[in-house]
Amino acid sequence: MKKLSFSKLEKRQKEDWKKWANYWRLLTECARPSRNDIQIIGHIINKKIKTCKSPVIVILGSTPEFRDLCVSYTIEYKAKVVCVELVEDMYRAMTDLTLLKNKKEDVVFENWLSMSLPNKFADIVIGDLTEGNIEEKFKTKYLSEINRILKKNGKYIVRQTAYISKERAKPVITLKQIEQKLEIYKQKVLEGRITMHQAGNYLGAELAWDSWYKTSGKKISLSVYDAELEKIRRKIKEDNLKREILEILYKVWGPIKDKYWEYYSLDQTVNHFKKFFKDIKYHYSTDYPVAKYTPIFEMVKK
């Protein structure tokens, strides 16, 4: 298959993903699949894979949680697993974070817009936050590729950001609201409901998604909140726990500056899928604060 040329996008993503590989282990739920995310996806896969002969699962990227999940399918159903990863460095870094090694896992290093995998190759394709990396002008090509490699009645399962309103909302996180959220997360830490690491991650995630509304060119960047966060740091200089949570926030989310991201409403996302898929459903996890913005979609090849 002739490879589609999109060198600028590919170059940018390679540079971005090398950075992500370096601090992936610092991220928690939202940026990575949660326990509940994996339970939902595992339930969908297990129900489908029982009906497949010599099943094949394709993972878009190399998400460690997905790769660990798929080990059980290679043991129970003799499933073959193939990761499609753009960056070899990313795959190696993610391999270090897997808990289990899968002898039936292969990897190909290429972009998702022109995969070398044959037609009707996979029973299941899964991805995590993959859609946001694809520019709108490439969306049709991307989804057509997934449709092409799926077998008849094959399933596409993807966790993806999608906001509820049909309209692009105005930024809602103000200085006062950041202070309120920081206090809420502090109390949850003291009550043992979450860790300090989770608190910093969760607050950072909320600001990161909200920053998309405040930047130009479809980007997420924590830097748009530098002024607000600096004011808070000065106000809480005697509150060591809050300061520690903010330090974790900066350590995890601070390096994400001007990260390109496509962010659609729920309706827009479903309409994109409808061109190539049917029986579209979506599910929500309940074990992290911004799960309402990251539904898990399941659908069947048309």
In order, the DSSP letters of 240-297 are HHHHHHHHHHHHHHTT--SEE---EEHHHHHHHHHTTEEEEEEE---SSGGGGGSPEE
The closest alpha carbon to 250, from 184, 295, 203, 288, belongs to 203
pLDDT tens for each residue of 10-54: 555 555 555 665 677 888 998 899 999 999 999 999 999 999 999
How far is 60 from 73, CA to CA, in rounded Å? 17
Contact 161, 129 (CB under 8 A): yes
Domains and CATH numbers, the chain: 7-161+262-301 (3.40.50.150), 175-260 (no CATH)
The closest alpha carbon to 160, from 88, 261, 246, 230, belongs to 261
Q: What is the pLDDT of residue 20?
A: 61
Q: What is the pTM of this model?
A: 0.89
How far is 112 from 86, CA to CA, in rounded Å? 8
Q: Which stretch, 135-139, 141-145, 263-267, 286-290, has highest mean pLDDT?
A: 141-145
Residue 32 DSSP symbol? B
How far is 253 from 256, CA to CA, in rounded Å? 6
Helices (H), the chain: 7-23, 35-49, 64-77, 88-97, 139-149, 175-190, 196-211, 226-235, 240-253, 266-274
How far is 7 from 114, CA to CA, in rounded Å? 13
Name the average pLDDT for the chain: 89
pLDDT tens for each residue of 191-223: 999 999 999 999 999 898 888 887 777 788 888
Sequence-distant (6+) residues with CB within 8 A of 193 are none
Two tokens, residue 206:
């909320």
Which range has the worst mean pLDDT, 82-86, 90-94, 238-242?
90-94
